[in-house]
Amino acid sequence: MSRIAVFFADGYEEIEALTVVDICRRLGLVVDMVSVTEEDIVTGAHGIAVKMDKIFSQAEWENYDMLVLPGGMPGTKNLEACEPLMAQIDAFFRANKYIGAICAAPGIFGHRGILKGKRACSYPTTECRLEGAQITAGPVEIDGNVVTSRGMGTAVDFALAIGGIFCGQEKADELAKGIVYKQ
């Protein structure tokens, strides 16, 4: 059973984070909502507070197949300021395990040198942070073990792409039909 960790910092973009959690759980994946604040409730950029499954110190890194960073401001900055999380992002990338980011968060990968020579996308005004990437305007880019997406409007595409990696594209397509996505 594949297991994904979605990280929440104060000011996260609610739709980007929770869409990944919801869709991947519908596909049967185990998804942990992990607080980097060490508090069990984290409040998003639009004032929506969500109870987490785990706090950062409880994360079992060896059990995760993917780490996901939602965007939002100041959520993205708060994620990037969490050095232990950044160390895990680097370790997963080096181990060829999946990492994903949406909206402004792909810029974190750019700052860490992860996007050099890779296709990547992000929120249009943050494309300058995708250092070394081949920037696209696609809703989602999967290049090796790195998955990026553009923003709130592409959150379902991002979540379905992640689901497709772990459950197969056919199952992800069935779910897309079941939720009446892009009919």
> Within a domain: residue 180?
no
Residue 112: predicted pLDDT:
98
Residue 38: predicted pLDDT:
86
Alpha-carbon span 80 to 129, nearest angstrom: 13
Residues of the chain where predicted confidence (pLDDT) is lower than 70: 183
CATH code where residue 95 lies: 3.40.50.880
> Within a domain: residue 182?
no
Residue 180: predicted pLDDT:
96
Alpha-carbon separation of residue 88 from 83, 97, 127 (angstroms): 9, 11, 23
> Within a domain: residue 75?
yes
Each residue of 89-98: b (16+ CB within 10 Å) or e? beebbeeeeb
Alpha-carbon span 51 to 128, nearest angstrom: 33
Residue 182: predicted pLDDT:
82
> Within a domain: residue 54?
yes
Q: pLDDT, tens digit, for every residue of 37-74?
A: 989 999 999 999 999 999 999 999 999 999 999 999 99
> Within a domain: residue 132?
yes
> Within a domain: residue 181?
no
pTM: 0.97
Residue 183: predicted pLDDT:
58
Residue 116: predicted pLDDT:
97
Contact 11, 31 (CB under 8 A): no
> Within a domain: residue 28?
yes
Segments forming the whole domain that contains residue 55: 3-173
Residue 1: predicted pLDDT:
78
Q: Tokens for 180?
A: 């009446």
Q: How many structural domains does the chain have?
A: 1
Alpha-carbon span 65 to 55, nearest angstrom: 18
> Within a domain: residue 179?
no
